[in-house]
A and B are shown apart, each in its own frame.
Chain A
Amino acid sequence: EVQLVESGGGLVQPGGSLRLSCAASGFTFSDHYMDWVRLAPGKGLEWVGRTRNKANGYTTEYAASVKGRFAVSRDDSKNLVYMQMNSLKTEDTAVYYCARVLGTSWDSHALDIWGQGTMVTVSS
């Protein structure tokens, strides 16, 4: 079964750090780009960041709201994708989803497999 399972969420104080993990199974993880998307309470979906695959240099992209604070990485040997979140703000409070990118061509960059999400609460 194709599956993504996030972990690492929790309560953190403003200015603190947290690392989210996403475990992939049931597909050739190393072939795919991987994204993080969040859903803040009462808000809509927000794309957060992306890691490309090895063939594309493991390069990353970020939303302006998290650039310089969040870092997406991956370990293809363990089928894991990570998001290191530093200098957290109250507005980072959200459910964080990891998602698989369907393909590497621009017309297939949609997110076809999603995890169940992990809640991050930034509060003092």
Chain B
Amino acid sequence: DIQLTQSPSFLSASVGDRVTITCRASQGISSYLAWYQQKPGKAPKLLIYAASTLQSGVPSRFSGSGSGTEFTLTINSLQPEDFATYYCQQLNSYPLTFGPGTKVDIK
């Protein structure tokens, strides 16, 4: 199975900050990676797929990059509604797996 790690696991930031979250895969997964945002009590929301394709309706301050084993999610100018937990998911091979999550909290 492909294991995903995320760093940091917790991040404290202020409104307006630029935030970067890293996701690393235990083996190469080409660009078959997605990023999701989840708020407490709510369903996850797709932000990015195919490593760098912005899902329709997602603000352009979110961007993704990377291929192979290392990927990043960047949030430019963090907004109050962006405080949430972020997960990466590999879509390269079964079983599909999620990273452990990165919680972005208010400083």
A interface, CB within 8 angstroms of B: 35, 37, 39, 44-47, 50, 61-64, 97, 99, 102, 106-112, 114-117
The total number of A-B Cβ pairs within 8 Å is: 72
13 contacts between A and B (CB under 8 A): A35-B96, A44-B99, A45-B38, A45-B101, A62-B95, A99-B44, A102-B46, A102-B49, A109-B91, A110-B34, A110-B91, A111-B44, A115-B43
B98 x A108 contact (CB < 8 A): no
Q: Which residues of chain A come closer than 8 Å to B1, judged between CB atoms? A: 64
Q: Report the separation of the CA atoms of residues A59 and B8 in the bound assembly, to the nearest whole angstrom.
A: 37
**Interface of chain B, main secondary structure:** loop
B interface, CB within 8 angstroms of A: 1, 31-32, 34, 36, 38, 43-46, 49-50, 55, 85, 87, 89, 91-92, 94-101
The chain B residue sitting closest to A105, CB to CB, is B50
Q: Which residues of chain B come closer than 8 Å to A47, judged between CB atoms? A: 89, 95-98
Q: Which residues of chain B come closer than 8 Å to A110, judged between CB atoms? A: 34, 46, 49-50, 55, 89, 91
Q: Report the separation of the CA atoms of residues A102 and B49 in the bound assembly, to the nearest whole angstrom.
A: 9
* A106-B32 in contact given A44-B101, A47-B97, A64-B1 (Cβ < 8 Å): yes
Q: Which residues of chain A come closer than 8 Å to B85, judged between CB atoms? A: 44
B45 x A114 contact (CB < 8 A): yes
Q: Which of B32, B92, B98 contacts A45 (CB 8 A)?
A: B98
A106 x B96 contact (CB < 8 A): no
Q: Report the separation of the CA atoms of residues A45 and B46 in the bound assembly, to the nearest whole angstrom.
A: 13
